[in-house]
Structures are given as C-alpha cells and as structure tokens.
Structure 1
Amino acid sequence: MLIRTEIDGKYKEIELHVCNSEETGEVRDIVHELHELYDRRIAGVDARGNRCMLNPGEVVSAYAEGQKVMILGTDGTYTVQKKLYELEEELGERNFVRISKSEIVNVGKIKNLDMSVTGTIKICMKNGYETFVSRRNVSKIKERLLSERSVKNS
C-alpha cells in the first residue's frame, strides 16, 4: 500500500482518496475505517478562526452560549455548528451526561463533586473547570455516577 501526503494551501479541509484498480474487500475495509474515524470527530473553530477536528475524548464540556454551541476541550474552547442535542447524540450517552438544559459534560473528565450546598451539585473537572448541575438533573446525575461506581467496583 502506498500512502502519500500532500500539503497545499489550495485545500480548505482534509481530503482523503483511496485508489485501486478494483473495489476489493481491503478497499471497502479501509473506507469503512476512515468513515468510522472521522465520523466520531467533531469539527470546531478555535478562537483564532482555525478549523479543528476534536476527538470526543478531548471534550470536557459542551454548552450553549446564546445562539452558539461551545466545546471546552482539554486545550481550548471551540465553536461548533451543531445544536447541543445533536452533539449529545453524536457523543453518546456512554461518556457524556446532560447536567442542565444548556450543558453536557464528559463523565471521564470529572475530578469530584461538591455537594456541600443543599440541593445542588457542583462539578469540578480535572482541568479546573467548575459547573453546576441543575436541580432538575440532580437525581439523574447521582444515579448515573453511582451506577458508574458500582460497575467499576464489581
């Protein structure tokens, strides 16, 4: 297999071409793997206006800010062209949980929970970001995190 990289200013986004004399199982497998890889990544724009592809594992939080949806990543904040519910579906329930009407967080990036104020939960993320669970979602968050703990302990 020959792999070639071409960097040129004429390209506005990444293009991948798979070429062969015929369509084979190997070609189908490669195309399928490429789709799987890139379908999981999220397109965002950083503060400088650069387009970036984010891996779901890099996402700490996604939240609505006015009419925009923002992603707080491990290395910066990005604007995405999706609605929060679309992002929530794309990221999946396995690693992400809705904590309010306007925010979802990556469960794997949670450092600790502060329940010192009655009826509320403050979430402290590993990168220092802090946010609050809405009252409507408190029981759901407790249930989710307790089920995660019981799975890890078994």
Structure 2
Amino acid sequence: MKVALIVDEKCQEASVLVNVPKRTLFFDHLMIKIRRLLNEQQLDVQREGELFSFEISDIDRVFTDNKNVFCMVRGEKYRIRKRIYELANLLPVDLFFQISQSEIVNRHFVEKFSLSKTGLYQVILKDGECTYASRRFMYKIKKEYFK
C-alpha cells in the first residue's frame, strides 16, 4: 500500500482519500480509524456539575452503573453523556476492548486475565480493582488481540 502526502497551495480544505481496488473489511476498519483519529481525540465528561475534557488515551475504563455511563481517569470517576454502545464504536479498537455489555477497558490498564474457579474470567486492573469479562467478549478478545 502506498501512502503519499500531496501539498497543494490551492487546496481549500485538507482531505484524506483512499483508493482501493475493492471494498474489504480491512479498508472499512482503516476508514473507521482515520475518522476517529481526525474527529475524536478528546471526550467530554462531567463530575458534580463541572465539565471536563480528557484525551481518550487517558481513560482507564468505561462502565455503566445504575443506568448511567461513567469513566475512570487517574482514579477519578466521571459521568459521560454517551451510551456504552456509542463509546464501543467511538473508542479506538487498538487501545480499548469491551469485556462485557457494561464495561470497556483500556488495554494498557489491564494487569492480567485470570480464570476463576467458577469459570468466569477475572480482569485484574492496574489499580488493584477486579472486574469480570463475559465468555462471549473474552472469546472475541482472544481472537482479535491474542493471535
């Protein structure tokens, strides 16, 4: 695949153009990554009525609690006004993975995975917290990230 930068002083607006012989899953994923890179570098959150904006890479985990969506950033809990399924599509797949219907974690924030005696997958986080991954999502994680 060739990558080129064309500088044109007459250009009014920068654009990214990808020419492909046919549409494939690889190129669909590439387009999603480019759009995310260009559009979504920060996430707006709130805590106690105050608004904050964080770099997406600073987010440790995203989870639902009592029908609200929260994220953890450096040990602090913030509310997000997006739904978990929206965040699953928004967050970069090379940095985050969904471990259950209600939780998405930053892969750099995971200490280790462990199979519990009951057959559930424990996800031990770097802050010492323990959460659980569903079998369905664990299968997907193994398939996509631990090839």
Partner of 2:62: 62
Which amino acid in 2 is paired with 1:44? V
Contact 1:40 1:90 in 2 (8 A): no
TM-score of the aligned structures, taking structure 1 as reference length? 0.65
C-alpha distance 127-37 of structure 1, shift in aligned 2 (>3 A): farther
In the TM superposition, what is the alpha-carbon distance from 1:122 to its structure 2 partner? Answer: 0.6
Structure 1 or 2: more helix by fraction: 1
Structure 2, unmatched stretches of 5+, are 1-8, 15-36
C-alpha distance 77-38 of structure 1, shift in aligned 2 (>3 A): farther
In the TM superposition, what is the alpha-carbon distance from 1:50 to its structure 2 partner? Answer: 1.7
> Deviations 1:74-94 (Å, cap 9, x if unpaired)?
241110110111111111212
* 1-structure distance, mates of 2:119, 2:61: 22
Contact 1:96 1:106 in 2 (8 A): yes
* 2-structure distance, mates of 1:133, 1:39: 26
Partner of 2:52: 52
Structure 1, unmatched stretches of 5+, are 1-23, 30-35, 148-154
Partner of 1:43: 44
Percent identity between matched residues is 25
Contact 1:113 1:124 in 2 (8 A): yes
* 1-structure distance, mates of 2:39, 2:95: 18
Contact 1:43 1:80 in 2 (8 A): yes
User: How large is the Cα RMSD of the aligned pairs?
Assistant: 2.4
In the TM superposition, what is the alpha-carbon distance from 1:67 to its structure 2 partner? Answer: 2.5
Contact 1:60 1:125 in 2 (8 A): no
Number of aligned pairs?
A: 117
In the TM superposition, what is the alpha-carbon distance from 1:139 to its structure 2 partner? Answer: 1.5
In the TM superposition, what is the alpha-carbon distance from 1:117 to its structure 2 partner? Answer: 2.3
Which amino acid in 2 is paired with 1:50? E
TM-score of the aligned structures, taking structure 2 as reference length? 0.68
